[in-house]
Amino acid sequence: IPVALISLFAVNFISKFGTKKSLILALSIVGICSLILPFVEVFWFYKLWFAIIGTCFAIGKICVFGVIRNNISDEKSLAKTMNSVEASFMIGIFVVNTGFGWLISSQFSQFWKFGFIMISVLSAITIFLFSRLEIAEPLKKDKENLVKELSTFVSPFILVFLFVLFSIVFVEQSFNSWLPSFYKNHLKVNSFFALQASSFLALFSYVGRMITSNIIHRFALSRYYIVCLILIVSVLLVIIGIQFLGAENSRLLLFLFPVIGLFLSPLYPVINSKMITRIDKEKVNIFTSLVVIFSSLGSSVSSIIMSILFNNQLLNYYSVYILFAVLVLFSISLMYFSMSRKTLEK
């Protein structure tokens, strides 16, 4: 939620101080807060920490999108770069899940909070490396009214695109946050194995994005995207078949769910890269703030809906819910690509 709330206000901050300085500041705050966290015992600090991390994430994502857009113009090169960037995000999730899972289950479990010191170290290394880079930044312009700037993006085409993003993140969050609970409560595996098995979803997502970054230049982005969706639906149908026609608690499901990450992970960077090349470099920050807002809303709404379903003991139909969400995404995506073709023809 803090990510969505801060995104629009972060645009003016980034425009004033510059993309590079803003990103370094966000990394510095994350590093300092993560360094302090192991030594604080009061609960209010943890809530504040989450809000601060959410805010820095919003600033960081807008900055990263801005850096990519201002330094790369070709659609397929942009898709390649964005898949590589998003892949690093997924390998980060995998390392954190695996690392903290191992730490919590080890004899040193009481020191789990000190794992955050590694995040501080990584932040410092990133700041050092990034500060040495020369990047192109958009020309500073006179401050404009935020509502006026947002009004330039009010169109059916943009709204459908934002709803596609919302739906992609909705599906991703259904896996990322709730797969461990499904493993533990439905497949009856222990907490450690549930966390480790679900972390392989992030690993497969990393592989999917890295493969995409290396082969995307050979295909039309829209065709590649649709094929990925078809493969997701196919795997989900296999899972549903095993779950309802075969063994309900089959251990095979432990390995099939993470495979979906191979095909789900390229969707977000591919659809973003296709759209962001159409946006003027001067407006990319405000546009990215909309991307962050709708992504955050997709994540939040997914968590709320899934928590309600899980609370009502409806675990048996977990894969069916996700299939329904993917089919909705499929329909909206077809609408988006149809509108995209008509826009280009004009």
d(CA 129, CA 281): 24
Residue 150 belongs to a domain: no
pLDDT in tens, 61-110: 888 888 887 787 777 788 888 888 888 888 887 888 777 777 777 777 77
Position 171: which residue type? V
Residue 89 belongs to a domain: yes
Residue 302 belongs to a domain: yes
d(CA 173, CA 141): 37
Q: Please answer whether residues 21 and 140 qualify as being in contact, where contact means their C-beta atoms are separated by less than 8 angstroms.
A: no
Q: Please answer whether residues 221 and 273 qualify as being in contact, where contact means their C-beta atoms are separated by less than 8 angstroms.
A: yes
Closest CA to 270 of 208, 199, 204: 208
Q: Which pair of tokens denotes residue 9?
A: 């206000």
Domain span at residue 21 reads: 2-136+155-341
Residue 141 belongs to a domain: no
Residue 29 belongs to a domain: yes
Domain count, the chain: 1
Q: What percent of the chain has pLDDT over 70?
A: 91
Position 208: which residue type? G
C-beta contacts of 337-341 below 8 A and 24+ residues apart: 337/222, 337/225, 337/226, 339/156, 339/157, 339/160, 340/157, 340/222, 340/274
d(CA 30, CA 53): 6
d(CA 323, CA 122): 37
Q: What is the pLDDT of residue 123?
A: 93
Which pLDDT band, with edges at 50, 70 and 90, does 141 fall under? low
- Output 283 or 238, whichever has higher pLDDT: 238
Q: Please answer whether residues 34 and 120 qualify as being in contact, where contact means their C-beta atoms are separated by less than 8 angstroms.
A: yes
Residue 146 belongs to a domain: no
The average pLDDT across 248-268 equals 84
What are phi and psi for residue 224, nearest 5 degrees?
-60, -45
pLDDT in tens, 299-338: 888 888 888 887 777 767 888 899 999 999 999 999 999 9
CATH of the domain at 48: 1.20.1250.20
Residue 331 belongs to a domain: yes
d(CA 248, CA 34): 42
d(CA 230, CA 209): 17
Map residue 133 onto helix, strand or coil.
Answer: coil
Residue 213 belongs to a domain: yes
Between the alpha carbon of residue 152 and those of residues 159, 246, 274, the distances in Å are 12, 53, 19
